[in-house]
Amino acid sequence: MIKKYSLNRILLLLTALGFLFLFLDTTLEHWAVFGDELPVYIPAIFSVVGTIFCLLTVYLWKENLIKYLKYFLFTSIIVAFLGTYFHVLEEEDDEDITLEQKQHEEEEGEKPLLAPLSFAGLALFGLIATSNEWKEETMIQKKS
C-alpha cells in the first residue's frame, strides 16, 4: 500500500503541507475581517486549491497534471506579490478602517507586510519539486 516516493514527490508533498499550513494561518489571522472584506478570502481559497492540487499531483504524477501545477505555482507567485501590495496599500489607507478592525489590529499588532510572500516561497519550492532536472522519478517508473 505504501509506495516508495521519489525526492520530487516528497518535496511536493511538503509543498502541499505548506499550503495547508497557510490555509490554517490565513484563516486564523483574517478571521475578524472575513465578513467585511472580500479579498481576504483569496489566500484561504488559494491555499485549499494548492493543497488539493499538490496532493493530487503527488498521487497521480502525470505529465499533464505536473504542467498545470506549474501554471498554478506561477500564479501563486503573482498572488504573493499582489497580496503584499494590498497589505502595503491597506497600511497607507487608515481612513476607512472600522472600529472592529482597529481593535483587532491593536490586539494583534501591525499587519505582517511580507506574510503574503510565503505563497511565492512555496511556489518556488513546488517548482523545484516538479523540475525535470532530476531523473530519479523516471528511473523509479522504469523499474516498476
| pLDDT per residue as tens digits for the range 63-74 | 999 999 999 999
Contact 51, 21 (CB under 8 A): no
pLDDT at 38: 82
pLDDT of 1 > 50? The answer is no
Give the span between the Cα atoms of 61 and 77, in whole angstroms: 22
101 sits in which H/E element: helix 99-108
Calculated CA dihedral for residues 34, 82, 102, 108, nearest 10 degrees? 90
pLDDT at 6: 87
Grid cell digits, residue 30: 483574517
